[in-house]
Every structure is written in C-alpha cells, then in structure tokens.
C-alpha cells in the first residue's frame, strides 16, 4: 500500500527530473554522466580482474558482468535517492581489494575435488552475503543517526587500513599485468627484461595520471 509520504516523494522526484531535463544544465550534466559512466566501466572491469584472478580467470566474463551490474544499480539508486544533489556513487577500491583477498582465501580452502564452477559459486555467494551484511549495517547507522561514531575511529587504524588496501592494490595490479603473485623473495623476478616490459607501462601510466 502506497502511503501519502511515498506519493509525495515520487511526485517531488518526478518534478525534479522534469526540471532538470528542461534546464540549461542538461547538456553539461549528460556530458559529466557520460564521462563518469566510462570511468566506472573501466574501474568495474579492473576490479573484476583483481577479484577473479588465477584459477577463477575462466569465470572473468561473469565477474565483469556482476561488477558492471553492481555499478549501474549503485549509481542509479544513489542518484535518485540521495539527499545531496550532484552525488556520484560507484565501485570503491578498498572493498575490491578486500574481496580479492577473500576470494583467494576461499580458493585455497576449497576441497581438492571441488570444480571451478563450485568455487566460483561459493565466492559469488560470499560476496553477496558480505554486500547484504554491509548494507544492513550502513542502513542501521543511518536510521539510528550513528554516523558520527566514525569520528571515534583511531587515526592509526584508519591509516593502517588505507595503507594495507594500497598494498593489496599494488600487488594485485602486478599480478594482473605479469601473472606473477608478488613475494619479497621473488622481487628480482620483476626486473627481468621480459617481465619488466609487462608492468613498466602500467607504472608509467599511473605516474602520468598522478601528474595530470
């Protein structure tokens, strides 16, 4: 049953959309949306490659599909329901790095007679459950106005989390570009001429993006 509040919200949203389409901001808005959409596609593919690597590479197309669908749903829902106009939502690097570690742990813990499909389904279910639990937790924070608790998170904890996430992204990107699982004892392997040509362009591109 639709309540009056829901009807009012729907009418306000329709009026806002109608105003936006008749506004001079339509063309800049569509241009910005196109750029953001292209960036999200690239990010979604990259994170899918990071998560579904190694033994899961045969299921990479499915992983890319899941990542793209998730990016679309997140972007549309946030754009329509956010209370902050202009907010853009997309896939984040920190959860992707953590999910990649979780996927690798699941692969190693699966029985030796488990098929690739069974491993893939197990990882997909684990990611789905993680997403649902995080969503419930975030919804609870918002509903009970507990977002301010983030201020009490110790700075070393946050810094360590971000540093660890960055390390996972670096090692994951090296794995994607070279196919080598990075370890300190094998650091010299990365500087072999044939391996160097695989990851050096990626490093150069990252430096270029940082400079720009």
Rounded distance, CA 124 to CA 129, Å?
9
Q: Is the pLDDT reported for residue 56 higher than 60? A: yes
Could you tell me the pTM of the whole model? 0.73
Helices (H) and strands (E) in the chain, counts: 7, 0
111 conformational bin, left if phi > 0, alpha if psi -120 to 50, beta if neither: beta
8 or 161, greater pLDDT: 161
Using a 10 angstrom Cβ sphere, with 0-12 exposed, 13-18 middle and 19 or more buried, the burial of residue 149 is exposed
Q: Give me the chain's average pLDDT, please.
A: 85
Q: How do residues 1-10 score in pLDDT, each as one tens digit?
A: 556 676 777 7
108 or 27, greater pLDDT: 108
pLDDT at 69: 93
Q: Is the pLDDT reported for residue 86 higher than 80? A: no
Q: Is the pLDDT reported for residue 18 higher than 80? A: no
10 Å Cβ neighbour count for 63? Answer: 25
Q: How do residues 89-104 score in pLDDT, each as one tens digit?
A: 888 888 888 898 899 8
Q: Is the pLDDT reported for residue 51 higher than 70? A: yes
């Amino acid at each position: 049953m639709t309540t009056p509040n829901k009807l009012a919200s729907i009418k306000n949203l329709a009026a806002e959309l109608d105003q936006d389409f008749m506004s001079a901001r339509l063309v800049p808005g569509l241009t910005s949306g196109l750029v953001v959409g292209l960036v999200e596609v690239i990010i979604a593919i990259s994170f899918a490659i990071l998560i579904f690597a190694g033994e899961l590479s045969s299921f990479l197309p499915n992983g890319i599909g899941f990542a793209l669908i998730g990016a679309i749903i997140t972007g549309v829902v946030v754009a329509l329901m956010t209370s902050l106009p202009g907010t853009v939502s997309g896939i984040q690097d920190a959860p992707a790095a953590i999910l990649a570690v979780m996927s690798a742990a699941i692969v190693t813990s699966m029985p030796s007679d488990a098929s690739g499909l069974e491993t893939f389904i197990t990882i997909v279910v684990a990611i789905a459950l993680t997403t649902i639990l995080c969503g419930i937790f975030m919804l609870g924070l918002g509903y009970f106005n507990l977002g301010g608790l983030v201020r009490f998170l110790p700075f070393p904890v946050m810094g360590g989390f971000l540093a660890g996430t960055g390390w996972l992204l670096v090692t994951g990107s090296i794995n994607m570009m070279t196919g080598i699982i990075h370890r300190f004892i094998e650091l010299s392997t990365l500087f072999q001429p044939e391996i160097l040509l695989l990851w050096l362009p990626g490093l150069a591109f990252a430096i270029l993006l940082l400079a720009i």
